[in-house]
C-alpha cells in the first residue's frame, strides 16, 4: 500500500505510471483501490488521466468530504489529488 499526503499548499499531487509496480510502463497497474481521506472540514478531489498529456477526469462524485473508496478496474496513466481547506491522505493499493 502507498500513502500519499496531500497538503493544500502543495496541491495538486500527481501519481504517475512507470513505477516498479506498474504492469506496463505506460499505465498504472490495475485493479487499483484508491481511498481518499480528506482532512477535518476539507475536501479531496481525485482525478485520472488515461494517456500522457491527456485531459483530467474527476472520479464519480467529484471532490469528497468524507472517506471515499473507488476501485479502478482498467488502466490509467496518472492520478492527481487536490486538497482544499485541510491536508488529506490518499491510500493506493493493488
* 31-54: pLDDT as tens digits: 999 999 999 999 999 999 988 888
CATH architecture group of domain 2-93: Sandwich (2.60)
Predicted structure pTM score: 0.85
Q: How confident is the model at residue 82 (pLDDT cuts 50, 70, 90)?
A: very high
Residue 33 has a CB neighbour count (10 Å cut-off) of 14
Residue 58 has pLDDT above 50, yes or no: yes
Q: Where are the domains of the chain?
A: 2-93
DSSP string computed for 24-75: BTTBB-SSEEEEEEPPTT-EEEEEEESSTT--EEEPTTSSBSS-EEEEE-S-
pLDDT in tens, 84-93: 999 999 999 9
Percentage of the chain exceeding pLDDT 90: 53
Amino acid at each position: 500500500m502507498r500513502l500519499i499526503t496531500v497538503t493544500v499548499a502543495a496541491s495538486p499531487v500527481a501519481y504517475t505510471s512507470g513505477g516498479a509496480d506498474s504492469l506496463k510502463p505506460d499505465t498504472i497497474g490495475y485493479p487499483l483501490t484508491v481511498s481518499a481521506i480528506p482532512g477535518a472540514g476539507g475536501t479531496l478531489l481525485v482525478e485520472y488521466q488515461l494517456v500522457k498529456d491527456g485531459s483530467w477526469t474527476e472520479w464519480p462524485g467529484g471532490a469528497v468530504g468524507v472517506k471515499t473508496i473507488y476501485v479502478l478496474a482498467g488502466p490509467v496513466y496518472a492520478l492527481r489529488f487536490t486538497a482544499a481547506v485541510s491536508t488529506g491522505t490518499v491510500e493506493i493499493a493493488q
